Structure 1
Amino acid sequence: MANVVVFGIEGESDLWIADLSAGTVSKIGKPTQGELATVDKLRAAGTTIVKGVNLAVTAQSSASVAGGFMDG
């Protein structure tokens, strides 16, 4: 199982890294080279890139997730 997820939120330029083992989420610096830089440029142009993730949903707050915002 993967222990780290890198993600970006639509409308924001920052990238984040979630360390699932440590239970932490941190902003990472803008990648300047390599595959992460390539996909970040594609993302900035409006492309959605997904690899190894089978569910991702944005919400306004953790309370809305706990409250079942996707129910019904």
Structure 2
Amino acid sequence: MTKVVIIGIPDEAGLWLADLNAGTVTPLNPTGDLATASSLRKSGGTFVKGVDLAVAVSSAQVALSGHVDG
């Protein structure tokens, strides 16, 4: 089973498609329901489905150190 995650973060207009099996992250141009969900981000909304942990950190070094910065 392919494991793929769609990522959007504040101050980043676009969405990203992370393919965990391939180890790749590529820009994604959302269409359909995904485009609708993505448009909610403009007003500060969030949409989470099928993810049990997501943390934005300031750098890979912070993540690799095991810290969750604020």
Please report the TM-score for the alignment, with normalisation by the length of structure 2. Answer: 0.85
Q: Which runs of 5+ in 2 are unaligned?
A: none
User: 1:1-72 residue pairs with structure 2 within 5 A?
Assistant: 3-29=3-29, 31=30, 33-70=31-68
SS in 1 for 2:61: helix
Structure 1's consecutive aligned runs of 4 or more residues displaced over 2 angstroms after TM superposition are: none
Q: CA deviation at 1:8?
A: 0.3
The letter of the residue matching 2:56 is T
CA RMSD for the aligned pairs? 1.8
Could you list the runs of 5+ residues in structure 1 that have no partner in the other structure?
Answer: none
Cα distance between partner residues in 1 of 2:2 and 2:55: 18
The sequence identity of aligned pairs, in percent, is 49
State the TM-score, normalizing by the size of structure 1: 0.83
